[in-house]
Structure formats: structure tokens, C-alpha cells
Chain A
Amino acid sequence: MAHGPQPGLKRWLYTTNHKDIGSMYLWFSFAMFLLGGCMALVIRAELFEPGLQIVQPEFFNQMTTMHGLIMVFGAVMPAFVGLANWMLPMMIGAPDMALPRMNNWSFWILPFAFAMLASTLFMEGGAPNFGWTFYAPLSTEYAPPSVTFFIFAIHIMGASSIMGAINIIATILNMRAPGMTLMKMPLFVWTWLITAYLLIAVMPVLAGVVTMMLMDIHFGTSFFSAAGGGDPVLFQHVFWFFGHPEVYIMILPAFGIISAIIPTFARKPLFGYSSMVYATAAIAFLSFIVWAHHMFTVGMPIAGELFFMYATMLIAVPTGVKIFNWVSTMFRGSMTFETPMLFAIAFIILFAIGGFSGLMLAIAPADFQYHDTYFVVAHFHYVLVPGAIFSITAGVYYWLPKWTGNMYSEVMGKVHFWLAFIGLNVTFFPMHFVGLAGMPRRIPDYALQFADFNQISSIGAFLFGAAQIVFLFNVVRTVMGGKKASDEVWDNPEGLEWTVPSPAPYHTFSTPPVIR
């Protein structure tokens, strides 16, 4: 068996190496991030002024739908899987993932799924236009013909995610180096283990709901059609039973990354390791019993409203534990502010703001005013952009020297950070105001009183987009060359990944390391 990568394209097509597959996941997700980002810029350009200027309402709806789908399934989820592929084996002292061929397969079906999804833009009737939450009957009886391609794309993405999750669980449970007990695992490993269980639990639910749509559209059933004895609200229950755990799938691995970065740059151990593990598990459990807080206005009985309101409010407790732990870790540390640390601190602050608006949204009577407005848009972008995107970015800067053996440019990293930080807040903070003042979400044109804040949001969005170009440039430059990184890279960081050379050899831990 060869000990190095195969030459040329075969390396990438046939590879079973966790590092190669991790890199492919990360590049793929970045490409999707740019594609979804361009769609966001179309949306923001149209909303720059009242009136219809650039696109028509049909196409606007396709943009909001595709932006959401691509960002959730194409950018955030594959990026976390990419980081898991790169880091989990190195963090637990394993030579590779447990199921390397399945690993190759779970990556390589993704480009086909997204090619199929993107191709709907060129079909007669256009791409899916019913929002990323695709509520029936808008997504069934009233959908464009391309909805069938959308359904199959979702099926493939789901299969990829389930295979990825099985692989991660198998790796973590079976391949830890001797002495690496569960409660010694780095938090990134813990959070991914829990995330993988969430994926296995809910991706089949998503597959189920799109299959029911397929039956309604092509095989004459009426699961979601009231005229045929079905129930449009059933769709929402099933969708959000998937959808709420899904949002935690996009945030729990982020908690793991931040829990690695903060102690390194504070030069102080994480304040409460075990409480962080328990808090993660608590959030994962609660994520299964809060789904109908997305549906406070569908006309649930009051007992249901109260249950979902109380359960949702409870999530603030373990989330608070996490925030308090990170702040306590920083407190009386000896901090430096390299790019990963800047992104991590911004994560804590902005994710907390998203958490606050989340708590406000949990209050059912107030949600009657917030629901389906830009306040909700502001809320979930505050948890997803700083939450998922910033943590992924922080992780990339943190581990890039280990992957490539070269240091990235700290100056460009800081430029990237400040552009992104300012761009993000200029884009999304005003959305709180227009939402409270009464602007519904998913509209291509708006009343005049919302004009000023929308204009500001649009300017911020283009700034945020420009920041990503700096990121791309910095990463490409680091991959090509640059100042050599030491094996430890940072100042005495914790974790097995820092004990191997930089760049990490193609095969690491062919013999298991000794755990102290």
C-alpha cells in the first residue's frame, strides 16, 4: 500500500484519507458559501430601495429559498464535517476515520446534490421559491415543477449527512488512543459526538417529510392537502421536528471550537470542562421538545403554547452556562488577540446577542408580534453568522498552520476580522429595528418607513461579502507558502494535534500516542 497520496486527480477522487476528505469538504463548503452569499447580495441589492429595481418577485423568492438551503446544507454543515474529518482523528489519537471508504462516498455525493439543486435555477418555472422551510401547500400543490429535483437533492444531502454522522460516532467510540477516556476528550470531539447523534435522529425525519411531499405531488396522496383530508399544519410539525435539532447541529460543533480557542489564547484551562459537556447534552435533549415554538401563530391550543414556551425558555439555562464558562476562562488569563481569538470573542458577544433575541422570541405572546418579521431574520442571522460562520473561520485560522505548515498573515487576518465584524453588525443589527417596526420577512419590496434601515443593511452586506475575499486570499497564500509554523504553533496549546509535526504528515498516529 502506498504511503503517500496518489498523483493527480485520482488523489481526490479515490482518496480515503481523512485529511484529503476534510480539505475537500472545506473547499466545497467555501464555494457554496460564496454562491449562497452572492444570492444574499442579490436580495440585499433589491432591498436597497423601495420599489422593484433589479429582480422580479418570482426570482426574489427563488433567491431567498436557495440562499437559505445552500447556506444551511451547503456551507455550514459540510464545513463542520470538514473540520471533523481533519481534526477528530488527530484529537483522539486515531490514524484515520473508522469508515474511510464511506467517508469518500459521503463527500462525493454532495457536489452532485448541489449541482442538481442549482440546476433548478435554469428550469422552466424556476428554482424552488417557497422558502427554505418549504411549507406545504405552497411547496406541493403550488410549487414549480423543479420541486421534484429539490426533493431528490435533499435526499442525497441527508444520506451524506447520515453517513458522515455514522462515521464520526464509529470513530469516536472505537478509535480513541488507549487512555483517552470519554471525559478526557477535547470538547470539539464531545460536541461532534452529540451532534452526530442529533443528525442520525433528525435527518430521516427530513427525508420523511420530503418523501410525503413527493407522494402528494406525484402519487395522489393528500398528507398536506386540506381538500383531500390532509393537514397543512402536520407538515410544519414534522419539518420543525427536524428543523429545531438542525439549528443545534449547526451550533454545537461551534461550541467545541470556541472551547479550544479561548483557553489557548487566555493561557488558562477551560473553567468547567464537565459542566460544558453536560450543558451540551442538555441543549441536545431540549432541542427535541421545543419544535413548535416556530409555530406559535398556527393556532395551537393554549396548553401546547405554554409547554413549548416554557421548554424553549429553559434552553437559556445551559446556553448561559456555556457563555459564563467562556467568560470565566478569559477572566484573569493572560490574553493575546490573534485572529482566531478575535473571531472567538466576537462569537461569544454576538452569539449572546442572538441568544437574547431568542429568549424574547420564546415568549409566546410577544412572539405574536415578532413572528415572521425581520426581527426573526436578525435573530437567526445573529446566531448563525457569528455562531457557525465565525466559529468555522476561527477554527480555520487556528488550525491552518497545522494543516499547511505555514503561518497565515496576521495583518490580513485582522483586516478580515474587522471587515467581517463591522459588516455583519451593520447588516443584521438594523434588521431588529425594521422587524419590530413591522416589516415582514421574505418580501421583495417594502413600505417607505423601512427604507433607511434597509439601505444600511444592504451596505453592510456588501462589506461582509468583501471581507470573504480577504479570507480566501489569505488562505490561498498560506497554502502556497509563507513563514514556517512550529509544531506547537501557539503558546503551549492543549491537545494531541499539536504534538504532531506541522504540516501534519499524510498519516498521523499509525501507532497510538501515550495519553498522560
Chain B
Amino acid sequence: MLRGFDRLFALLATSLSVQAVLADEQDVERWGLNMPRGVTEVAQTTYQLHMLIFWICVAIGALVFGIMFYSMWRHRKSKGYKAAQFHESTAVELIWTIIPTVILILMAIPATKTLYDIYDTEEADLNILITGYQWKWKYEYRGSEVSFFSNLSTPKAEIDNLQPKGVNYLLEVDEPLVVPIKKKIRFLITANDVIHAWWVPDLAVKQDAIPGFINQSWTRIEEPGIYRGQCAELCGKDHGFMPIVVKAVPQAEYDTWLTSRAADAVKLKELTAKTFTFDELFAQGEKVYSRTCAACHQPNGQGVPGVFPAIAGSKIATGPLTGHMNIVIDGSEVNPAMQAFGEQLSEVDLAAVITYQRNAFGNEMGDTVQPVDILNFKNKQ
């Protein structure tokens, strides 16, 4: 995470208050019946195609069911209707083979055209590498230093029905993907562990994120706004909890944002050299833990028997520091579900979360890990 402490607090505070206001001002759009019209040309064409096929189906259905219901009404034994005995007619069979074929060909023409548009990923203004992880997205802006993870920001208490649910329940993240409007953006989509799928309905972009493959997709957003989506491919336990938020802003705003993010990255590197107090590390570690570790190891550190090991009283968390750093930074050699967090978290966050794990849940090891220790450990490898 490319983020300092101050920034984190500010962000958290503002996002919470903004959320509370939003919940009052706007209500959820309920009873949604249809595909969104979308905010890109491709999305709108897809919507029109969808409606065209839909109405053709409705017309055919009305005709066939109409004849059927008429017959069920008129041709009943209880009304004394005598059955005709006609059957077999090659002419009729040919008619109801040829007419549907013609209709299908007429459908295929616009569908083929739209498909060519979707596949035209050439000449992009901006390339963004999207990587699916269990259960978060990583965004890397090609040609710049900026890269970050985007996690679900809905509090666990809302999911567990302990707090009222906010208006963007399950569709909100700690850091949205920020993109400029009116620019052709190419998404390069892959995954780190299992297959995910990156889907934002308003952009009509859905592409599987597959380990070992880099898929391509593109968009060109016409209007500024916030567009929300979700992972669309079953990817394990928290498949339902890895949303996507795209924030489309004018070019100037985007440029400012990108510069400040790049500066943040530099600032965070400087923080690595700083020595933190135990309390600072513990407090930050708790936040990192709940964001990154709690999904599997559980908020109380007890894990899930047989699936996810407990942190509380674990051999690693109460054992030598090197072993603990090793599994957090490089992941587990035997269980792929334990990812390598060395590249996912900053040195500060790694130091904080390891300190937290060694001192929370009754582990009481009393030791502190500093960012520089993490850096030294990484450099030794």
C-alpha cells in the first residue's frame, strides 16, 4: 500500500463522513429491471443490441403463444370440439425452418459489428494493468510509478447486520481506479491466483482475469462519474466481496491526481527509514490486519479449522521473527491460499501487521518490527 499514516486517517475520516451524507441524500435505485444503458459507445451499442434481440424474442413469443392459447381456448373436448387429423407437411416444415434462419442472419449482422468494436484495443491513450487477487484488485498505471490495491471498504459490521447498511453496500472500495474521460483506455487483465473477472456494467467491460494470461479490453468514458462493478467469476470464499469502483474525471484532474500519487509513493519510501513506536505500529497493524488478513484468519485471529490456520497461539506468530517475516513476505510453500504479501504491502504496513500479529490475540510476544527490518530481510534474499 502506497500510503502514509496521516493520509490514511484523513481518507478514512472523510470517506466515512461523505458516506453518511450520501446515504441521506440519495436512495438506492430499487427494482432495477434492465441492463444499464452505459456511459461508453460500446455499452450503448450493446444495450441497443440487447433490446433488439429482446423485442424480436417477444414478437416470436407473442405469435407462438398466441396461437397456442387461442387453440387451448377453442379446441377443447369440453366444448365438443372434434379433433382434426392432419399431420406431416414438408412445406410447413420448410417454412418454419427457413424463416427463423433468416431472422437469425439479420441478428448476426449487428452482433458481428459490435463484436469487432469490442475487440479493437489498438491505439490506446493509457494502459492500465489490472491483476485479480483473492479478494482484491491491483491497478498499475503503465508508464508511471503509480500502482495500488483496491479493497472492499464496507465494514464487516454492516455485512454481519450489526450496523445499518450504507447506500453503496458491497460496491465501495478504499481506493477507486481513477481514469480520465474521453480517452481510450486499454485494460490489460490478469490474475495472481485463481480466475477472476473484471466487470463494470456501465462500461460494458467484462473480461476474465486468468493466471498466466494477459487479456485485453478497452473503454472510452464520455461522462465523469463513479461507476461500480464486481468480480464476475467465482474465485473462492470472498468472491462476493471484491467490488470495482471506477472514478472517471476530466484530464486535468486526472493529471493532478496522478502527480500526487507518484509523490505519495516517494514519501512512503522515506517513511521506511523512520522508527515507529510500538503503539503506532500496533494501531496501524490492526488496520492492515482487518483489511488484508481477517478475511481468512478471521477478525479474532482464530482462523477457520481445517481451512485457514489461527494466528492466535500459532507456532509462527509466537516463534522466531524470521519465520514470521518469511511466511508473510514470501507466502506459504504448501498452501497457495497464503499469498506472498511482500510485493502487496509497503514495508511500513508489513512491519505494522507483523508487530500486531505477534502482540494481539493473546500472543503477547512483546517485540516490535520496524520497516527497516523488513527491508533488510528482503535485501538478504
Contact = CB atoms under 8 A, between A and B. Distances in A.
Contacts of B53: 359-360, 363, 366
5 contacts: A50-B170, A138-B194, A232-B210, A324-B96, A366-B53
A292 B107 CA distance: 20
A297 interface: yes
Given A334-B76, A445-B240, A58 B307 contact: yes
A434 B61 CA distance: 22
A314 B32 CA distance: 31
A369 B238 CA distance: 22
Given A135-B195, A348-B68, A335 B75 contact: yes
B232 A363 contact: no
Given A50-B169, A440-B231, A440-B232, 16 more contacts: A135-B233, A230-B212, A269-B85, A299-B213, A323-B64, A324-B96, A330-B72, A334-B83, A335-B75, A348-B68, A363-B111, A371-B197, A371-B206, A372-B199, A436-B35, A438-B201
Interface stretch (B8-16, B159-167, B261-269, B273-281): B159-167
B204 A369 contact: yes
Interface stretch (A21-29, A197-205, A301-309): A301-309
Interface residues of A, number: 98
Interface in B95-115: 96-97, 100-101, 104, 107-108, 111-112, 114-115
A57 B237 contact: yes
Contacts of A321: 93, 96-97
B100 A298 contact: no
Contacts of B45: 365
Interface in B197-215: 197, 199, 201, 204-208, 210-213, 215
Contact of A267 (B46, B77, B96, B165): B77
A231 to B, nearest CB: 7
A305 B57 contact: no
Interface residues of B, number: 101
Interface of B: 28-36, 45-46, 49-50, 53-54, 57, 60-61, 64-65, 67-68, 71-72, 75-78, 81-89, 92-93, 96-97, 100-101, 104, 107-108, 111-112, 114-119, 134, 158-161, 165, 167-171, 193-195, 197, 199, 201, 204-208, 210-213, 215-216, 229-241, 304-307, 336-337
Given A142-B337, A335-B76, A368-B206, A271 B88 contact: yes
A462 interface: no
Contacts of B28: 447-449
A289 interface: no
A175 to B, nearest CB: 28
A482 interface: no
A353 interface: yes
Contact of B34 (A317, A359, A437): A437
A443 B100 CA distance: 37
A314 B167 CA distance: 44
B240 A437 contact: no
A288 interface: no
Given A299-B207, A366-B111, A330 B160 contact: no
A443 B54 CA distance: 26
Contact of A142 (B82, B165, B194, B197): B194
